[in-house]
Structure 1
Amino acid sequence: MGRRNEPALEPELPIVDPHHHLFVRPGWRYMLDDFLADTGTGHNIVGTVLVEANSMYRDSGPVEMRPVGEVEFANGVAATCASGYCGKTRVAAGIVGNADLRLGSRVEAVLDALLRAGGDRLRGIRYITAWDADTSLLNPAYPVPPGLLGDNTFREGFALLGPFGLSFDALVLHPQLDDVANLAGAFPDTKIALNHVGRLVGVGAYAGRLSEQFPRWAASIKALAAHENVYVKVGGLGQAVNGLGFEKLAEPPSSETVANAMRPYVETCIEAFGAQRCMFESNFPPDKEGFSYSVYWNACKLLTRGAGGTEKTDLFARTATRFYRLNGIGNAG
């Protein structure tokens, strides 16, 4: 289904998109040309962070080393864009790879290989730990047991991120937010980026319960914000799993519609974490299910109409630049 596009509001505002993917999957391809078509719709996207998507893995060798192939691919994309060949957007200026932290201390060799493959662009690791008693909500590509963030062997692997200079991207479901807080408290020197405002769930066992669940989510967000090593990616609300219903509309939503639906979650996060620890993210292409790239960024701009210049710069670029150490990306820093 086609997505609505709109003229960009504040088209000169520098944006660093800290969360998107490139992949080839059965029946679904989203590669550099597709992403550049989205970033080329009027907003000033100066740089991006490419996050692992379980794609482009090596097809042989030790299983734990196969994710190195995705970082090799991402670094090639980054080099292409750094040449200026693809225009102003420095795609994959930062890279978040995958490593199985359940290996415990044995993950050290994987982290070393990922860092070499990343060519000084690897900034973090994401290992998806989303779990719920409602198994219909779980992604079979990422099978995890309950309570993984508290598992001793997992934490043994997690403990190596800090010494390697790597952050952790946390993808959980919103009922697991207290587990993220516990992890952050145990490792105060390791930076954590909470993905998608904590992965709001509004389907399955949570269908029709968004307003009921909001106070619990908000309380967990506020408790998590007490840990200064945690930052939050503000976005990831465009999919059916979130329960906001964009995909059910007769016509693709306008930026006003998207902004109004996102407002309670955006405002709660900014109030709890402050703009210096919040970064707007596109989460494309998954969020393309709900709205277009241009509409998403317009919605974010509508939501920050009353923000001061420093706050706006943090939300759209500087927090991401600082968190992922993206030196030299336009004037975003």
Structure 2
Amino acid sequence: MGAAVTPDLVDAHHHVWDLSVRDQEWITGEALAPIRRNFSLDDLLPEARAAGVGATVLVQTVTVAEETPEFLALAAESDLVAGVVGWTDLTHPDVSDALAGMRQLPGGQRLVGIRHQVQAEPDPQWLLRPDVRRGLAAVGTAGLPYDLVVLPHQLPACVKAAQEHPELTFVLDHLGKPPIASGALEPWAAAVRSLAALPNTFCKLSGLVTEADPKTWTVDDLRPYADTVLEAFGPDRLMFGSDWPVCTLAATYAQVIEAAQELTESLSATERAALFAGTATRVYRLRPPRLSVVG
């Protein structure tokens, strides 16, 4: 592991995309229209620096093999991106070879995790399929965490998968997308507590504002859900993520960070340091981004 990046905030979850390179087929409908445009690291950098963010984790957006090498190359030249959570086909028999190949690419040392859009899979037991189990085992053998982007009804399968793969670190994205807009806590909260009871699971404090009412949300709307994961996982197993630029549907980058800080104001300085930097640095084994050359 490289030197820690804890002196600054770590944004453990954001995206970029260029629609001239590849369509983002999930960006459809009127509600998502504001983000159906290009978003680059150059767009994010000034906002991140203004907010005190010193390092980020760039996360995959589509299930296309070409995207991860592109993201690794971006990270290799970036003063901001310390790690990439990429994608590979877990159902393919050569997952181990695919992961090893990624690590040989430019920026390959920045590969820090793997993710698949499980939320889009119609089978709620997708994570428990034999071919997926084999792929998850390969990710664990490679020493990489696995990000879970799921809907609440898929959380029971996440619990079983984490039980079956104690050697694999699972990171729950966006709290498992609780129904914040409706105000309902159950059965989401019970499922999250079951997942948190397993020592190989972590959670991102991310994606809250877009699960709430995007126009009228308040920090108080988010608090019951943040409090649930704070109690279940604890700060040492939670990490902050902005989910930029998706978050811009409901809030600015600065507002997302401010909301997270308000939601965690009761924590000690040590606990806040873990949630806003230390946990992500440890779980993803982050190294400082490329140093700028000052001429």
Question: Normalization by structure 2: what TM-score?
Answer: 0.85
CA deviations over 1:218-277 (Å, ceiling 9, x no partner) = 1111111111100000111222xx2x2123x4xxx6xxx2x2221111111010111000
Larger Rg: 1
- Residue 306 of structure 1 aligns with which residue? 266
- Residue 84 of structure 2 aligns with which residue? 95
The gaps in structure 2 that reach 5 residues or longer are 1-5, 24-35, 291-295
1:22 matched to 2:11? The reply is: no
- Residue 33 of structure 1 aligns with which residue? 42
- Give the secondary structure class of the aligned counterpart of 1:315: helix
- Residue 163 of structure 2 aligns with which residue? 185
- Residue 74 of structure 2 aligns with which residue? 77
- Residue 3 of structure 1 aligns with which residue? none
The gaps in structure 1 that reach 5 residues or longer are 1-11, 58-66, 83-89, 131-141, 203-207
Q: Residue 110 of structure 2: which of 115, 121, 128 is its match?
A: 121
- Residue 9 of structure 1 aligns with which residue? none
Greater RCO (CA < 8 Å, at least 6 residues apart): 2
- Residue 100 of structure 2 aligns with which residue? 112
Aligned residues of 1:13 and 1:43 also touching (Cα < 8 A): no
CA deviations over 1:95-136 (Å, ceiling 9, x no partner) = 111011122x32223222222224211011101111xxxxxx
1:246 matched to 2:235? The reply is: no
Root-mean-square deviation (Å): 2.1
Identity, % of aligned pairs?
Answer: 33
Q: Residue 288 of structure 1: which of 240, 244, 248 is its match?
A: 248
Residue 75 of structure 1 aligns with an amino acid whose one-letter code is L
Residue 72 of structure 2 aligns with an amino acid whose one-letter code is N
Aligned residues of 1:13 and 1:44 also touching (Cα < 8 A): no
Aligned residues of 2:14 and 2:244 also touching (Cα < 8 A): yes
Q: Distance in 1 between matches of 2:238 and 2:163?
A: 19
1:227 matched to 2:198? The reply is: yes
Residue 14 of structure 1 aligns with an amino acid whose one-letter code is D
Question: Normalization by structure 1: what TM-score?
Answer: 0.75
- Give the secondary structure class of the aligned counterpart of 2:9: strand
Q: Residue 208 of structure 2: which of 237, 242, 251 is its match?
A: 237
CA deviations over 1:281-326 (Å, ceiling 9, x no partner) = 1011111101000011111111222211110101100000001001
